[in-house]
Chain A
Amino acid sequence: MSVAVAIDRVEKRFGSVSALAGVSLQIGEGEFFGLLGPNGAGKTTLISCLAGLARPDTGKLVVMGHDVVTDYRAARRLLGVVPQELVFDPFFSVRETLRIQSGYFGIRNNGDWIDEILANLDLTAKADTNMRRLSGGMKRRVLVAQALVHKPPVIVLDEPTAGVDVELRQGLWQFVQRLNRDGHTVILTTHYLEEAEALCGRIAMLKQGRVVALDSTSNLLARFAGQTLNLRLASPGTLPEALRARATESGGRWTLPLADLGEIEPLLSTLREAGCSIEDLRLTQTDLEDVFLGVMQSTVSPNKAAV
């Protein structure tokens, strides 16, 4: 798999604040890649550096083989960015906005593709409406359309579904997934972890300007426990010694992480042999939120985590 985006030891400071403290990532062509992290983790700064909106202090960012600083024209032609803020130019209609944006990228007579994007984003009826008259959700769709006018092979979506209703969110993801299937590399930052879990093949987690986890979504989910068994015993103090080392107790309930489901049977037989009576038993699946919280709360060294 060839590399769509290569980020190499990028550092960026704003005054005394270190927004990016040596970020290195490689994103392959055709990937659906998630960039997660709490507010202030450096996600938007990283995207700004990639898009040329911010200049890194040190390090290198490359889009499809083109350095974003020294070969910025080629790099920007290959990159489509949906900014986080809901911005628009109030002077123009939707179609004018898209035509102008095409021209900025050196494309004339882009009408057919613009029509296709408008149709896919359900904007055809609003094509000649002034941007000011659109609802927030509609403006968000135009932002997506603007990022796609030049058919960029790499698409960056910086929290594109913040404040967007469920219906539009679904429609937007279907469209972006189709683009991804057609070969576009998609980089997504989002606060909706279930979205990242459903869409992204691989995920990087950022914390205080560093990558603290980088793996496929399935590996991340597996690495952080997979399942947990949650038990309440008739008499809480009676959990056998053999199990106590790996269990945590809270409010009379015992939680036991499971490496795989095959552990359940031996665990239950240990309880049976010890004469424990189970009052309640629940099996819970780890989701990305647990992983995210686990990573953010842990003191994992970045080097160890960034595999």
Chain B
Amino acid sequence: MLGFRTLLYKEVLRFWKVSFQTVAAPVLTAMLYLMIFSHVLEAHVQVHGVPYPAFLIPGLVMMSALQNAFANSSSSLIQSKVTGSVVFVLLPPISYVEFFLAYVMAAMLRGLMVGTGVVLGTIWFAVPDLQAPLWVLTFIVLGGAIMGALGMVAGIWADKFDQLAGFQNFLIMPLTMLSGVFYSIHSLPEFWQQISRFNPVFYMIDGFRFGFFGVSDVAPETSLAVVATSFVLVSAATLALLRSGYKLRS
């Protein structure tokens, strides 16, 4: 147990030591998004009867949390692989399940911290409702865990930083940006609405937003089912990868 706790502590300390870059920077980015989009659209757009800045905030919180959860585990693994310091966590008696839990939980924690930071940074512009906090917590925790696990897959798979950047820019970014962070999918043409329904991140954002406003594009139970299933699938794949020793133990 202490091995797992130490690995979790190390992973948290790793991003906390550079929190200006890992927490403060994404909070600032989210604030800039809010300032620009709400300035342009506030007078023109309401979604589900909610003014646009308030509608946008939960989306930005979730998007930032998800992207940073992914960034945490993926960058930690690729860095330690490239520098070789990954041996320090491979030599001790730490099981692959403990390894998985430590990286995913640290990623989730960074996601939560960034998410909280975005709330604190944007609440000055608009205050969204908070109708069902438990849904909010459930979706951000599950979403962070999925992205943390995906980050592990990417970090283990990639041999070089540019491969990881490819994974991040061509998969994670489009999935999060096109998930309804900035809009309700009902505002999209039918074809793109259908495409969006294949994006699991859409359900994370939609369920998360339901917790604030009590309204959503799809039923929150549906979102929860999709997100929970995604979590189980991604976790199972990551655990299988770790168990096989793929690219970690030759």
Residues of A in contact with B (beta carbons under 8 Å apart): 14, 48, 51-55, 72-74, 76-77, 79, 81, 83, 85, 87-92, 96, 100-108, 146
Given contacts A55-B250, A92-B13, A104-B92, 19 further A-B contacts (CB under 8 A): A14-B250, A51-B91, A52-B91, A55-B245, A74-B93, A76-B92, A77-B93, A87-B88, A88-B83, A89-B83, A89-B88, A91-B13, A91-B17, A91-B18, A101-B92, A102-B6, A103-B6, A103-B10, A104-B93
**What residues on A are CB-neighbors of B83 within 8 Å?**
87-90
Query: What is the distance, in angstroms, from A142's C-beta to the closest C-beta of chain B?
Result: 11
Q: Knowing A53-B249, A53-B250, A54-B250, say if A103 contacts B2 (CB, 8 Å).
A: yes
Q: Is B14 an interface residue (CB 8 A)?
A: yes
Instruction: Compute how far the CA of A89 lies from the CA of B89 in the bound complex, rounded to whole angstroms.
Output: 11
> Contact at A55–B249, with CB atoms within 8 Å?
yes
Q: Is B46 an interface residue (CB 8 A)?
A: no
Q: Is B51 an interface residue (CB 8 A)?
A: no
Q: Is B9 an interface residue (CB 8 A)?
A: yes
Instruction: Compute how far the CA of A92 lies from the CA of B10 in the bound complex, rounded to whole angstroms.
Output: 9
Q: Knowing A73-B93, A91-B13, say if A104 contacts B88 (CB, 8 Å).
A: yes
27 contacts between A and B (CB under 8 A): A52-B91, A52-B249, A54-B249, A54-B250, A73-B93, A74-B93, A76-B91, A76-B93, A77-B93, A79-B91, A87-B84, A88-B83, A89-B83, A91-B17, A92-B13, A96-B13, A100-B9, A101-B88, A102-B6, A103-B2, A103-B6, A103-B10, A104-B3, A104-B88, A104-B89, A105-B92, A106-B1
Contact pick for A53, options B14, B17, B18, B91, CB 8 Å:
B91
> Contact at B6–A100, with CB atoms within 8 Å?
yes
Instruction: Compute how far the CA of A54 lies from the CA of B250 in the bound complex, rounded to whole angstroms.
Output: 5
> Contact at A91–B250, with CB atoms within 8 Å?
no
**What residues on B are CB-neighbors of A79 within 8 Å?**
91
Q: Is B90 an interface residue (CB 8 A)?
A: yes
Q: Which of B44-90 contact A (CB under 8 A)?
A: 80, 83-85, 87-90
> Contact at A48–B92, with CB atoms within 8 Å?
no
Question: For residue A147, which residue of chain B has the nearest CB?
Answer: B91
Instruction: Compute how far the CA of A172 lies from the CA of B85 in the bound complex, rounded to whole angstroms.
Output: 22
> Contact at A89–B3, with CB atoms within 8 Å?
no
Instruction: Compute how far the CA of A123 lies from the CA of B12 in the bound complex, rounded to whole angstroms.
Output: 26
Q: Knowing A89-B80, A106-B3, say if A146 contacts B249 (CB, 8 Å).
A: no
Q: Which of B89-120 contact A (CB under 8 A)?
A: 89-95
Query: What is the distance, in angstroms, from A106's C-beta to the closest C-beta of chain B?
Result: 5
Instruction: Compute how far the CA of A194 lies from the CA of B250 in the bound complex, rounded to whole angstroms.
Output: 32
Q: Is B186 an interface residue (CB 8 A)?
A: no
> Contact at B5–A72, with CB atoms within 8 Å?
no
Looking at B18, B90, B91, B249, the one whose CB has the most chain A CB atoms below 10 A away is B91
**What residues on B are CB-neighbors of A100 within 8 Å?**
6, 9-10, 88
**What residues on A are CB-neighbors of B89 within 8 Å?**
104
**What residues on A are CB-neighbors of B6 within 8 Å?**
100, 102-104
